[in-house]
Amino acid sequence: MTEDSEKRRSITVGRYLLHRQIARGGMATIHIARLMGDEGFSRIVAAKRLLPELAEDTEFVAMFMDEARIASKVHHPNVVPVLDLVTTTDEVMLVQEYVHGVPLHVLLRTARDAGKKIPVRIAISIAAQVLAGLHAAHTTLDEMGAPLDIVHRDVSPQNIMIAVDGSARLLDFGVAKATMAAHTTRDNTFKGKLAYAAPEQVHGKPVQQSDLYALAVVLWELLVGHRMHGSAQGEAELVATILKGELPTITEALANEADWGAIDSEEWKQLSAIEPIVQKGLEIDLDKRFATAEDMEDQLTKAVTPASSSEVATWVKSLGKDFIEGRDKIIAAEEASWRKTLPPLNSSVRRQTSGPGEIKRPSTGDLHPAVSHPPWPAARKTTAIIAVLGALVLVLGVGVVFAMQGGDTPRPATSEAATPPEHIESAAAAQPTTPSADPSKPEQQAVPVATTDSGSAASTASPDVAMEKKPAAKEAPPVRRLGLRPAPRAVKAALVKEKAKEPAPAPAPVPVKAVAPEAQPADDCNPPYYFEGQKKIFKPNCL
């Protein structure tokens, strides 16, 4: 397998699909990656993957963990945010926002190769934005409000991205130091790029002002057009130069070009205004250096007005055109390869309905050979069917209960307790089924019953006629009030005959609490009796 094919082979780490490798450092590789979401959702991100040979090294793994924890606390437009940290049995990966742009060291190299100088206002804009991001990092607090005292320790052109929208973004807190770091760097050890290190950092004791020193070196190189320590013959000479502070000024480095007329008077004036600010940032004595990144940013923007974001964006797109087009082609190729594995848009996004209440979801399959997506869960369909059946059973059960109780009225407990059953039946037999009927019209009475002297009961209508005119049981008010069903006709007749044989009792004085007979209507037979003490007396006109 060739190196190019190895770079293009996609692998899956967690929920991320790693595409082509776009950079490689001493401890990690950088990949264009894709965040995998549900329903075909994806997002382009940058994945920093620890080299396999270092993934088992506890020190390097701890450094990666520190970067994720530290960078996740910093929230600023000029700092590239960390989105996620992925660890598996053999992988350690840091996921960052993908910044579409050009690294600053690539822009510096391109300008030098093309013999172009970076405009002063562009350089000031880049430096001011990086200082704003540094100030945000330096002043970051933890969740309890305590300062984290973050020191980046690796401010260099390789860790500054200039986006196509004109923003400068600081990234890579891999060697940052903070009080929250689980991996504590030992004293008197150096981390970072030596060419941008402050004297105290060379001694292994970096502070936040060390980041300002490094930014001053970056700004010096942006304005001059080449590296500050490019003439150093070796590491020993470089360290000696840094410790002594024998660094050339901007005007000294550009004196020959000014003599040749390559720098106009206006630009030279701007360089002269910036030079003391850069020199203050390069001071060996910490007391003479800027105290904060915010102070240095204020001094720069007052000396020279920085370029706007649109001006920086135009410059980046012009100078970094080839790099941006190369990245565009890589992303387009990976996107095209990705889309070939996806189902058609109309079948993967839309849910077609094949019938009333039925949702047809096409099978998605694997969106990528290395990524599998779960099919439409069958449990949802089963749950819906069970819910519908349960609702139907509930409705049918309620209907059956109402059907069984339809003609009956709940029996009051007081009626059963106060009146003996035989008296209730006698009262029901003596009650006319339609109390409101006129006595002068026999045809309106359902079952009129009369008693003769001989004790025989006679009906004014035939049984057939009476049955035809008899209303339904549910319409009989006395029966419904007593909570009983109408008694059969044979039982009623027997009860009437028994009562007819008994002599009518003499009227007795009505108790004080009882209702006087004259207060009731003459034909009020509901109920057909009244009480004298404990004795029940039937009303003569109701027999």
The DSSP code for 269 is: H
Q: Are residues 259 and 149 in the same domain?
A: yes
Which residue in 38, 57, 84, 154 is the catalytic one? Answer: 154
- pLDDT at residue 96 greater than cutoff 50: yes
Report the pLDDT value the prediction gives residue 143, as an integer from 0 to 100.
Answer: 85
Domain contains 43: yes
Residue with more model confidence, 443 or 508: 508
Domain contains 248: yes
CB atoms within 10 A of CB 196: 27
Domain of residue 149 covers 3-335
Q: Is residue 214 a contact partner of residue 155, using CB atoms and an 8 Å limit?
A: yes
Domain contains 401: no
Q: Are residues 442 and 313 in the same domain?
A: no
* Structural domain count, the chain: 2
Per-residue pLDDT reduced to its tens digit, 382-415: 666 777 787 787 877 777 766 666 545 444 444 4
Domain contains 46: yes
**Chain centre to alpha carbon of residue 343:** 27
Please, what sign has the CA dihedral across residues 188, 132, 80, 194? negative
Last residue of a domain, one of 282, 300, 335: 335
Which DSSP string corresponds to 409-433?
-PPPHHHHHHS-HHHHHHHHHHS-S
Supply the CATH number for residue 230's domain.
1.10.510.10
Last residue of a domain, one of 312, 335, 358: 335
In this prediction, residue 363 has a pLDDT band, given cuts at 50, 70 and 90, of very low
Report the pLDDT value the prediction gives residue 310, as an integer from 0 to 100.
Answer: 96
Q: Are residues 147 and 236 in the same domain?
A: yes
Highest mean pLDDT among 62-71, 274-283, 381-390: 274-283
Per-residue pLDDT reduced to its tens digit, 30-58: 999 988 877 778 889 999 888 888 878 88
Report the pLDDT value the prediction gives residue 190, as an integer from 0 to 100.
Answer: 47
Q: Are residues 323 and 418 in the same domain?
A: no
Domain contains 358: no
Q: Structure pTM?
A: 0.61
Last residue of a domain, one of 335, 370, 386: 335
Alpha-carbon gap, residue 82 to 317, rounded angstroms: 26
Report the pLDDT value the prediction gives residue 405, as an integer from 0 to 100.
Answer: 62
Q: Is 166 left (phi over 0), alpha (psi -120 to 50) or beta?
A: left
pLDDT, mean of residues 188-211: 84
Domain contains 386: no
Q: Are residues 78 and 217 in the same domain?
A: yes
Phi, psi of 66 (to 5 degrees): -60, -45
Residues 6+ apart with CB under 8 A from 22: 30, 31, 32, 327, 330
Which DSSP string corresponds to 178-196?
-TT-SSPPPTT---S-GGG
Q: Are residues 99 and 218 in the same domain?
A: yes
Report the pLDDT value the prediction gives residue 118, as an integer from 0 to 100.
Answer: 95
Report the pLDDT value the prediction gives residue 172, as an integer from 0 to 100.
Answer: 82
pLDDT, mean of residues 471-481: 48
Q: Are residues 325 and 471 in the same domain?
A: no
Alpha-carbon gap, residue 125 to 102, rounded angstroms: 16
Chain position carrying tokens 């009956």: 408
In this prediction, residue 350 has a pLDDT band, given cuts at 50, 70 and 90, of very low
Chain position carrying tokens 């020279």: 304
pLDDT, mean of residues 84-98: 86
Please, what sign has the CA dihedral across residues 10, 16, 22, 26? negative
pLDDT, mean of residues 223-229: 91
Phi, psi of 452 (to 5 degrees): -100, 175
Q: Are residues 154 and 252 in the same domain?
A: yes
Q: Is residue 124 a contact partner of residue 304, using CB atoms and an 8 Å limit?
A: yes
- pLDDT at residue 166 greater than cutoff 80: yes
Q: Is 57 tagged catalytic? A: no
Q: Are residues 26 and 156 in the same domain?
A: yes
Task: List, in sequence order, every residue forming a beta bridge with 531; answer none if it has no partner.
Answer: 536
Report the pLDDT value the prediction gives residue 263, as an integer from 0 to 100.
Answer: 85
Helices (H), ranges, 289-404: 293-303, 309-319, 321-340, 345-348, 378-404
In this prediction, residue 333 has a pLDDT band, given cuts at 50, 70 and 90, of confident
Q: Are residues 93 and 222 in the same domain?
A: yes
Q: Could you give the percent of the chain with pLDDT greater than 90?
A: 31
Residue with more model confidence, 276 or 427: 276
Angle between helices 309-319 and 120-138 (to 10 degrees): 110
Residues 6+ apart with CB under 8 A from 456: 500
Cis peptide before 528, with omega less than 30 degrees from 0?
no
pLDDT, mean of residues 125-151: 93
Report the pLDDT value the prediction gives residue 406, as an integer from 0 to 100.
Answer: 56
Q: Are residues 141 and 232 in the same domain?
A: yes
Q: Are residues 126 and 18 in the same domain?
A: yes
- pLDDT at residue 459 greater than cutoff 60: no
Domain contains 399: no
Domain contains 359: no
Report the pLDDT value the prediction gives residue 509, as an integer from 0 to 100.
Answer: 56
The number of C-alpha atoms within 13 Å of 258 and in the hemisphere containing its C-beta is 14
Q: Quick one: tokens of 60?
A: 């390097």
Residues 6+ apart with CB under 8 A from 66: 173, 174, 176, 178, 181, 182, 183
Residue with more model confidence, 454 or 84: 84
Q: Quick one: tokens of 467?
A: 């049955």
- pLDDT at residue 29 greater than cutoff 50: yes
Distances (CA, A) of 316 to 32, 44, 98, 106, 310: 21, 21, 17, 11, 10
